[in-house]
Structure 1
């Protein structure tokens, strides 16, 4: 899994842990829901500024969004 896919997977997982819809997280992070959807699909690149906003709203360190899973299955 490349870093782009890792980010997308972590973003989707962390949003689901909080039980937020894409619309709720997008609103909180001040981005559009369609942009968030594209990020979760790995279709768009993301800036450090947006990573920071998302991490802040998800209450995690920005590095958590880029951390590769230790599960190799």
Structure 2
């Protein structure tokens, strides 16, 4: 699995663990909801700054968004 797909799965996982909607995460990170949706589906290549903003909003370290998802 590539890094973009892993990031998308982890964003969704941590967002749901925090009880956030895509809209809430988008507002908190100052991103468009459609961009968050694209990230979660693995169809966008986020910048390092975007990863930092997502990690801050999700209360995780940036590297946690890039760690392979455990089954």
In structure 2, the gaps of 5 or more residues are none
Aligned residues: 71
- The corresponding residue for 2:17 is 17
Instruction: Using structure 1 for the length normalisation, give the TM-score.
Output: 0.92
For 1:19-58, what per-residue CA distance to the aligned partner results, in whole angstroms no more than 9, with x for missing partners?
1000000000000001100000111100000100000010
Instruction: Using structure 2 for the length normalisation, give the TM-score.
Output: 0.95
* Preserved CA contact (<8 Å) 2:9 2:69: no
**Whose Rg is larger?**
1
Please report the RMSD computed on the Cα atoms of aligned residues, expressed in angstroms.
0.8
- The corresponding residue for 1:26 is 26
Moved over 2 A (4+): none
- The corresponding residue for 2:54 is 54
SS in 2 for 1:8: helix
Q: Distance in 1 between matches of 2:51 and 2:26?
A: 12
- 1:22–1:70 Cα change, 3 Å: closer
1:11 Cα shift? 0.5
SS in 2 for 1:11: helix
